[in-house]
Structure 1
Amino acid sequence: MGGHVARNTESIERDIEAARDQLASTLDELSVRANPKRIVESTKASILETLNTPAVKFSLIGAGAVVAVLVVRSILK
């Protein structure tokens, strides 16, 4: 029976070590995700992706053209 208890203790210690490693890995991943520089890069990439969608791109081109026409008209007055 003594061998059985030792094996259980070793098994528990391995489980604790695996859980500790998993926690350390999770914390590392969270610290990378929470890094302000990474958040800025992610936000910038998301904004650029949105701006590059055809609907938004053509809306911005249209708005730019309207502004350009208004500027030219105000200059010519």
Structure 2
Amino acid sequence: MARDPDTIQREIEQARDALAVTLDQLGTKASPQRLVENAKAGVRSKFDDPKVKYALIGVGVLVGVLVVRKLFR
């Protein structure tokens, strides 16, 4: 059974519009600025974890002590 050309044209336009929306969403998700912001937020959340924060402070103090010790030997 043959379909009406107007119906086919409408379906094509709807598919094109849906594809355009999908491409816009993908472009937004994959934008470099958004990826950088997400990475920064992830790193900040890791540093807010007390285990990570205090471990890094301990490593920093240890490195500082070793540097000072090496300078004054």
2:54 is the alignment partner of 1:58: yes
2:43 is the alignment partner of 1:27: no
1:72 to 53, 68, 73: 68
Counterpart AA for 1:62: G
Counterpart AA for 1:33: K
Between the aligned partners of 1:54 and 1:43, the Cα distance in structure 2 is 19
Counterpart AA for 2:40: K
1:38 to 31, 34, 39: 34
Q: Whose helix fraction is larger, Structure 1's or Structure 2's?
A: 1
Between the aligned partners of 1:26 and 1:54, the Cα distance in structure 2 is 40
Across the two proteins, how many residue pairs are aligned to each other?
69
Structure 2, unaligned stretches of length 5 or more? none
TM-score, length-scaled by structure 1:
0.67
Higher-Rg member (1/2): 1
Superposed CA RMSD in Å reads 2.5
Query: Which SS does the other structure have where 2:56 is aligned?
Result: helix
Counterpart AA for 1:68: G
TM-score, length-scaled by structure 2:
0.70
